[in-house]
Amino acid sequence: VERDDPGEAVPAVASRYARDVAWSTRQLADLAGTTVKTVRHYHRMELLALPERTANGYKQYQVSHLVRLLQIRRLTEVGLSLAQIRELSGPDQDPDAAVRALDAELEATIARLQRVRAELAVVIEHGVPLDTPPAFGTVARGLSERDRGLLAVLSQVLDAGELDDVRALMADVPDDDEAALLFAALPEDADDAAIEAAAVALAPSMRSSTERFPWMSDLREVAPRGPKFAQDAVLPAVADLFSPAQLQALARANEIVRKAVAEDG
């Protein structure tokens, strides 16, 4: 196509323009802002009619193909699948309902992505690992992989409200909490005296915790997916993530608390 007299407006030129343009696949793809692979894909999917061919087999696209291709591109951009686009040409369903369904889908997707972004912001702000369970993003700094593993399991078992109680407790424990340090440092082969010392140290905060959040005395009762599910998940996780000495210390501290509560009550 030669450039015409620049003083001449488009309609004047168009009236003399060859009616049957013949675009190649590449030209068609360029005009529509897409790729030749995409054009061929739409042929295979029978979304786009095959054009005439030249003697050597080259495809010759017309304006109708460009318009259809642009239509398909537009519909995929708003979120329709190719199958849905094919159906649109068929028995005409309520187009308004289709649009509303699309919109609702987009709304849900956006909400989900925004939640993820909020979680990423917490991850950045508090410098915690990316795989930190979202409920503990603000308090997980400095936790070991094992601790985070336990929190991940807990996150599967408890509701948001209970998870927030756990988070609140964790936020109240200072980094240099003596009982926590003693517990964490308990060696695998700790003797009974060491275990007892850790338990005694742990007991007071354990007592105040269960007084503040009574559900913590048996989390099976508040597990939304059922007590069996909670027990099957949390017991092994706790048993696996703490050493036997630590588990003994926990059990012993628990005993101390129960005795103390019974005496005070």
Residue 19 interacts with a copy of itself (CB under 8 A): yes or no: yes
From DNA, a copy of itself, none, interface partner of 59 (C-beta below 5 to 8 A by class)? DNA
Counting contacts by CB under 8 A, is residue 200 touching a copy of itself? no
What is the chain written as a DSSP string?
-----TTS-HHHHHHHS-SS--B-HHHHHHHHTS-HHHHHHHHHTTSS---EE-TTS-EEB-HHHHHHHHHHHHHHHTT--HHHHHHHHSS---HHHHHHHHHHHHHHHHHHHHHHHHHHHHHHHHT--TTS-GGGTTT-TT--HHHHHHHHHHHHHS-HHHHHHHHHHHHHS-TT-HHHHHHHT--TT--HHHHHHHHHHHHHHHHHHHHH-GGGG-GGGG-TT-HHHHHHHHHHHHHHHS-HHHHHHHHHHHHHHHHHHHHH-
67 binds, among a copy of itself, DNA, none (CB under 5 to 8 A by kind): a copy of itself
* Cβ distance to DNA smaller for residue 17 or 58: 58
Which partner from the list DNA, a copy of itself, none does 254 bind, CB cut-off 5 to 8 Å by kind? a copy of itself
- Smallest gap from residue 23 Cβ to DNA (A): 8
Show contacts with a copy of itself in window 224-263 (CB under 8 A). 227-229, 231-242, 244, 247-248, 250-251, 253-255
Q: Which stretch binds a copy of itself (CB under 8 A): 11-19, 48-56, 135-143, 174-182?
A: 11-19
Residues numbered 150-189 forming contacts with a copy of itself, rule: CB under 8 A: 152-153, 155-156
Whole-angstrom distance, CA of residue 131 vs CA of residue 112: 17
> Closest Cα partner for 147 from 170, 165, 174?
170
Amino acid at 80: L
Q: Give the number of residues in contact with a copy of itself, rule: CB under 8 A.
A: 91
The answer to whether residue 55 forms part of the interface with DNA (CB under 7 A) is: yes
Scanning 38-46, 88-96, 111-119, 254-262 for contacts with DNA by CB under 7 A, the matching segment is 38-46
Closest CA to 71 of 94, 87, 47: 47
Query: Can residue 265 be called a binding residue for DNA (CB under 7 A)?
Result: no
> Taking CB under 7 A as the rule, does residue 88 contact DNA?
no
Binding of DNA at residue 81 (CB under 7 A)?
yes
Q: Is 31 in the site for a copy of itself (CB under 8 A)?
A: yes
How many residues touch DNA (CB under 7 A)? 20
Residue 43 CB, nearest distance to a copy of itself (Å)? 19
Q: Which is nearer to DNA, 73 or 258 (CB)?
A: 73
Asked if residue 15 binds DNA (CB under 7 A), the reply is no
